[in-house]
Structure 1
Amino acid sequence: MSSPMKLTDRRSDTDVVLTTKIADALRVHLPRRYKLATEMNLLYSLDQHGISLSTLYRQAKNTKGPIVLVVKDADDNVSFFFKKNDFLWKWNETESQIKTYRWTGKNEYMILSEPDFIAIGGGEGVFGLWLNSELEKGYSQPCPTFDNERLTPDPEFECVELEVWGFRM
């Protein structure tokens, strides 16, 4: 990649979850068309837009391309979901790398967007990533959709920051 990913539409006083370093590492795992993108725009941030799942849905609904959901828990673990050629992924700060969990084809439980929660991946009574409507409590378990490991050290976690990003081509 020739130049670092430019992250736009985030106010300077907004807490950062997705960094340029993480965005550039993500490029390697994207479909070819999106590897060429040089800019991502912030569609929603807990810090910038308020704590509301309905606001998240409203802010992201008119996005034509894929989205990247970025979650930071109370222990500074950062995990993600990429919608379009779906996969879950998590950032390993120590190794400065991303671990991806791609769709297995075992089921079609990619994303479930309800007024009370959002769930990503599933099967056998568990979700790869689940967040409540207040975007404060989350769960992560290994699930058949992605054959992922848990994205956080404990199954239940406190969501302290969340961002949704789109691509500018």
Structure 2
Amino acid sequence: MRPMQESIKIMYFANGSEEPFVEIVTVKQQKRRPSVCSSADSESEDLLPVLVDHSQILKEHHLEQLMNHIPARTQGYPWKLVYSTAEHGTSLRTLYRQMAEIDRPVLMVIKDSDNQVFGAFSSDPFKVSSYCYGTGETFLYSFSPEFQIFRWSGENSYFVRGFLDSLQMGGGGGPFGLWLDADLYRGSSYSCDTFCNRPLSLHHDFTIQDLEVWTFI
């Protein structure tokens, strides 16, 4: 899913020269979108991903940071909203149900009651499972207060595990890197061996204001 590239040969003559100079220019063919907030003439906004649906959480600066850190196979593709508390209500069961037919990576975005934004990228859609799933592409991230990304440490493979009453990400003999309850109302975040992360929110325990899950189409 890496954006395609093509090479263009440009020939031109320098002043006083009878032989042409040849320059090879690589052009990246990438899907582009207008800015979330400003005019369509800026170079930076051309690089933002296409959001097929409206986001209650994501702003332009969130998109700029996240798009540079998601795996190459997901870059250059539109983002589609799979689940949101604003649209589907606050239920972990509904979140799982919305992803039942998806076989692509997903990006979770959380806004808590302190207006802090953080979340996780999962190589696999969230589901109920009797075992941990996911790959080393999975990571946690936070904008609280500045953007940080926490990738797989290699210590263990406790990437994601889904229960009917909770969703867990990261672990290793202690608290989870990210934990959400069945009502998607309360959550917690602690340092864990899987990602060697710091807590994603300002407080270990937080209240969810909005939650969205996006995939790449």
User: Under a length normalisation based on structure 1, what TM-score does the superposition of the two structures give?
Assistant: 0.88
Pairs within 5 Å for 1:6-85: 6-10=50-54, 16-37=56-77, 39-84=78-123, 85=137
State the match for 1:4 in structure 2: 48
Counterpart CA distance in 2 for 1:65 and 1:151 is 24
Task: Give the ranges of 4+ consecutive aligned residues of structure 1 lying more than 3 Å apart after TM superposition.
Answer: none
Match of 2:121, SS state, is: strand
2:189 corresponds, among 118, 126, 140, to: 140
User: Which structure 2 segments of 5+ residues have no match?
Assistant: 1-43, 124-136
Count matched residues: 160
Match of 2:51, SS state, is: strand
Contact 2:49–2:76 at 8 Å: present in 1 too?
no
Counterpart CA distance in 2 for 1:125 and 1:103 is 17
Contact 2:108–2:119 at 8 Å: present in 1 too?
yes
User: Under a length normalisation based on structure 2, what TM-score does the superposition of the two structures give?
Assistant: 0.69
Structure 1 position 60, deviation (Å): 1.6
Counterpart CA distance in 1 for 2:160 and 2:200 is 16
Comparing both structures, which one devotes a greater share of its residues to strand? 1
Counterpart CA distance in 1 for 2:173 and 2:110 is 24
Match of 2:114, SS state, is: coil
Overall identity of the aligned pairs, in %: 36
Match of 2:143, SS state, is: strand
2:140 corresponds, among 88, 104, 122, to: 88
Q: Bigger radius of gyration, 1 or 2?
A: 2
Q: 1:87 to 1:166 in 2, by over 3 A?
A: same
Counterpart CA distance in 1 for 2:99 and 2:67 is 21
Counterpart CA distance in 2 for 1:46 and 1:115 is 17
CA RMSD of aligned residues (A): 1.6
